[in-house]
Chains A and B, each alone.
Chain A
Amino acid sequence: MDEHRPVEDSEFVYRRIHRVYYQAGLPIPLQAAAFRPTTNDATGLSVFRAVFVQPIDILASIEPGKRNDYYVVRLAVQELHRLGLTVVAEPEPNGPAGHAVIPELSWPVYQADKQRLKVIQLELAKLASAAVVHQPS
C-alpha cells in the first residue's frame, strides 16, 4: 500500500502517550497535554495510520530505554473530523510506517489559537481514555 495515499474517513490512527499523562482512577485518565504539540510538530501533531502498523510498531522510533514508558491509543478519523480535525499523510522514510499529522494541531497553529485548541485537546483526551490499545508492561 502507498503511505502517501490520502487518509480515508473510515481509518483509525494511533497516538503515542507518555505514561506521565495517564492516571487510572480519574474520570478522564489521560491528560490533555498528551495532545499538545511541541516545537518539533511544525506541520502537525504526529499520529500513525492503523492500516500500516501495529500499535507496538510505532514505539520503534523512541529510544529503547524509554519505549516502555508509552501507552498507545487508537482514534477514529471520523471522530477527529467531528472535532474539526483532519489527518494528512506525511510518511517518514526513517520512522515507523504510516506516519501522518493533524495539521490543526501543529505548533504554529496551536500558538495562534491556544484557548480553542486546549478545549479540543481535552475532548481528545476523553476519546483516547476509552481507546488504549497498548500499555507499558
Chain B
Amino acid sequence: MITMLVNPIAEEAWSRKANQQDSLSALATPQNGILNSADTSPWELAVQTVIQFQQLGDNWDGQGAPGPSPELLASAIGLASLLNEQGVAPPSRVVPGPEGSVIFEWQEPEGMYTEIEIDRPLHAEVMWIEPGQPAKHWTLPTE
C-alpha cells in the first residue's frame, strides 16, 4: 500500500542500497539485481524500467532533454529497493523527467495520487494528494 510511504527513509540506508552494485550494468540480470528476488518482486518491472533509462542518452526527446546520470539511476534503484522492503506497492509508472530526474508515480482507484521525483543522487521530492485535501510535500531522505 502506498500509505506505507510515510515510513522514514534514512540517508544511510538509501546510500547503502544505492551502492550495493558495482555498476548499473550489473543490474541488467535479475540474478545480480539489487532486489534479492527480482524475478518475484512486485517492484521488478519498475526497476527494469529504471535500468532501461541508461539507454536514453542526452537529447532522448529530440528537444535536448538530458538522460539521467548513472548516480541518479543508482539512487532510484536503491530507493525502489528500500520501498520494496517497506512493503510499499510498486508505482503505477516510472518515467524520466525532462531535466534528468526519475519519477515514480502512483495512481490509486480512490483518487489518491503520489509522486516521488528523484532529482539528484540521494535526494527526492514527494508529492502526496488525497482527494479533497491540500497536497502534502516533503523531501527524501527524511533522516
- Minimum CB–CB distance from A106 to chain B (whole Å) comes to 14
* B61 and A66 contacting across the interface, CB-CB below 8 Å: yes
Of the candidates B65, B96, B99, B127, the one whose C-beta lies within 8 Å of that of A118 is B127
Closest to A27 in B: B107
- Assuming the contacts A31-B105, A38-B99, asked whether A63 and B62 have C-beta atoms less than 8 A apart, the reply is yes
Closest to A119 in B: B135
Of the candidates A33, A65, A115, the one whose C-beta lies within 8 Å of that of B97 is A33
Tell me the number of A-to-B contacts counted with CB atoms below 8 Å: 62
- A20 and B109 alpha carbons, distance in the complex (Å): 22
- Minimum CB–CB distance from A67 to chain B (whole Å) comes to 7
Closest to A23 in B: B93
* B95 and A21 contacting across the interface, CB-CB below 8 Å: yes
From 80 to 116 in chain B, residues with beta carbon under 8 angstroms from any chain A beta carbon are 92-93, 95-99, 103, 105, 107, 109, 111, 113, 115
Contacts of B125 in A (CB 8 A): 114, 118
Of the candidates B63, B103, B109, B127, the one whose C-beta lies within 8 Å of that of A31 is B103
Interface size on A, residues (CB 8 A): 26
- Minimum CB–CB distance from B52 to chain A (whole Å) comes to 11
From 10 to 45 in chain B, residues with beta carbon under 8 angstroms from any chain A beta carbon are none
- A119 and B133 alpha carbons, distance in the complex (Å): 12
- A21 and B129 alpha carbons, distance in the complex (Å): 20
- Assuming the contacts A31-B105, A119-B127, A119-B135, asked whether A69 and B98 have C-beta atoms less than 8 A apart, the reply is no
Residue-by-residue, is A88-128 near B (CB-CB < 8 Å gives 1, otherwise 0)?
00000000000000000000000000110011001000000
Contacts of B135 in A (CB 8 A): 115, 118-119
Contacts of A33 in B (CB 8 A): 95, 97-98, 103, 117
- Assuming the contacts A27-B109, A62-B62, asked whether A36 and B127 have C-beta atoms less than 8 A apart, the reply is no
Q: Does A53 contact B (CB under 8 A)?
A: no
Closest to A67 in B: B62
Q: Which residues of B contact A (CB under 8 A)?
A: 61-65, 92-93, 95-99, 103, 105, 107, 109, 111, 113, 115, 117, 125, 127, 129, 135, 137
Q: Which residues of A contact B (CB under 8 A)?
A: 18, 20-21, 23, 26-28, 31-33, 36-40, 62-63, 65-67, 69, 114-115, 118-119, 122
